[in-house]
Copies of this chain bind each other. A is one copy, B any other.
Amino acid sequence: MVKNQEHSALTGWRRKLHDIIFEAETPAGKAFDVALLLLIVLSVLAVLIDSVPGIHIKYGKILFVAEWIFTILFSIEYILRIYTTFRPGKYIFSFYGIIDLLAILPSYLSLVFTGSHYLLVIRMLRLLRVFRVLKLARYVGASHVLAIAMKNSRHKIVVFLEVVVTMVVIMGSLMYLIEGPENGFKSIPLSIYWAIVTLTTVGYGDIAPQTIMGQALASVIMIIGYAIIAVPTGIISVEMAKAKDTPLSTQICPDCHFEYHDEDAVYCKKCGSKL
């Protein structure tokens, strides 16, 4: 109750702004969100093509201006989000709150550190909201299932990664002893890098064993890598089979920013606020 009163405490244009920025139920809110998604895509594309030498020489100045326009727009949006939310602290330290900040920081950082503006691609992360904004309940449900399956797999995945790391360190060191610097295995860290490239079946080929012993050990690593890829797959398949697969509401709790509510939920199941 108290919370709902607090909610209605935002009045006048501040209340209106809140509904436009945070909600996508009203036409204005919907338009705002779609425009925002477009702006994000454009701003990321601008960063990408600015890094191509030919384009940088020709259009570098325009892209520089565009980047600052995007940054200023996103900065205004960020300030408005803080200003119009009920509990600024909750928003600022929520997942998307942090991303919204990270999406503007690199521009300001680039005033001090050259090149850091390329980090603006982190704006991509803002696009993860796309399914919620476009009210695609099926996709919100699907991403929830994936998130649940990943979360429930985490203990096994950590154990698996511990074994993989132990394996590549020992295998890499053995290869360093067998092949040695004269065959491209210049140090143990580099040999470990090679072992990762091999175990994951990436296989660049910039470093490759030359001796018979080395090729024999490499064969063992490859076959192990080929077989144990089955382990994470098995882990996640099993969790995926368990996870309940239902469309979810695309609403976020206005108060605690909890994300996954059932389609018929009226109150947030975490904090009791009206959705």
Residues of A within 8 A of B (CB): 44, 47-49, 51-53, 115-116, 118-119, 121-122, 124-125, 127-128, 130-131, 138-139, 141-143, 145-146, 149-150, 155-166, 169-170, 173-174, 176-177, 181, 186-190, 192-193, 196-206, 208, 212, 215-216, 218-219, 222-223, 225-227, 229-241
Given A124-B166, A155-B139, check contact A200 B222 (CB 8 Å). Answer: yes
Among the interface residues A181, A202, A227, which one has the most CB atoms of the partner chain B within 10 A? A202
Q: Looking across the interface, which residue of chain B has its beta carbon closest to that of A144?
A: B159
Copies of this chain assembled into the complex: 4
Given A188-B51, A200-B226, A234-B237, check contact A155 B169 (CB 8 Å). Answer: no
- Is the Cβ of B230 less than 8 Å from the Cβ of A188? no
Among the interface residues A130, A170, A196, A197, which one has the most CB atoms of the partner chain B within 10 A? A197
- Is the Cβ of A176 less than 8 Å from the Cβ of B234? no
- Is the Cβ of B236 less than 8 Å from the Cβ of A231? yes
